[in-house]
Amino acid sequence: MIKVSFLYPNEADQKFDLDYYTGTHMPLVHQRLDSMGLLRSEVESGVSSADPNAPAPFIAVGNLYFNTADEVHEGFKTHGRELMGDSPNYTDIRPQIQISELV
């Protein structure tokens, strides 16, 4: 199984609208990618770092799960521009993106 993680660093003076991300953006992701192999998604909201008094290193993390890397690449080749084009509606943070194989 393949996991695509979008990690949004917790940067000062940056915006992240979690309500828009979960209520509008993620449904759009599913509308576009479910037929291309998207199995499920998860959204994490950062609480803290290992030190409970320190802020979380990431304000949010979005995870998408596919069976194969080819499904990921085909899905984003087809719909990536539209999906990434929606990002100014919820954030001005450039995410770190990692594609991983679950072992």
Structural domain that includes position 15: 2-101
Q: Which long-range contacts (CB under 8 A, 24 or more apart) does 67-73 make?
A: 67/1, 67/2, 67/37, 67/39, 68/2, 68/37, 69/2, 69/99, 69/101, 71/2, 71/36, 71/37, 71/38, 72/2, 72/4, 72/37, 72/99
Q: pLDDT tens for residues 64-103?
A: 999 999 999 999 999 999 999 999 999 999 999 999 999 9
The predicted structure's pLDDT at residue 96 = 97
pLDDT given at position 99: 98
In the chain, the number of structural domains is 1
Whose tokens are 């409970």? That residue is 52
Averaged pLDDT for residues 1-12? 96
Is residue 68 within 8 Å of 37, Cβ to Cβ? yes
- CATH number of domain containing 64: 3.30.70.100
pTM score, two decimals? Answer: 0.94
The pLDDT score that the predictor gives to residue 15 is: 95
Half-sphere exposure of 70 toward its Cβ, with a 13 Å CA cutoff? Answer: 0
pLDDT at position 62 is: 98
pLDDT at 57: 97
pLDDT score for 27: 98
User: What integer pLDDT is reported at residue 78 of this predicted model?
Assistant: 97
Tens-digit pLDDT profile for residues 17-66: 999 999 999 999 999 999 999 999 999 999 999 999 999 999 999 999 99
Is 16:59 a contact under the CB 8 Å cutoff?
yes
